[in-house]
């Protein structure tokens, strides 16, 4: 099932699989980052979701790699 998208807006919440695909990391790395507190998720009942802002924050927190 695709998340609802409002007129030109990106989804506000991602499933763990969608977040992993967006970050291009594997399942083990994703859950390790969550467990370490570096990537935050929210629970909606039994469902786990990653807010879009959290993905942005996580990427911004990564160290820049020297060229």
Sheet (strand 13-14) strand order: 13-14, 47-51, 42-44
Per-domain boundaries in the chain: 13-61
Give the predicted TM-score (pTM) of the model. 0.79
pLDDT exceeds 80 at position 19: yes
pLDDT in tens, 22-59: 999 999 999 999 999 999 999 999 999 999 999 999 99
């Amino acid at each position: 099932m695709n998340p609802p998208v409002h007129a030109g807006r990106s989804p506000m919440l991602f499933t763990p699989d969608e977040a992993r695909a967006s970050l291009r990391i594997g399942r083990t790395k994703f859950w390790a980052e969550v467990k370490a507190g570096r990537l935050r998720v929210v629970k909606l009942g039994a469902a786990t979701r990653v807010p879009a802002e959290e993905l942005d924050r996580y990427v911004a927190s990564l160290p820049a790699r020297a060229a």
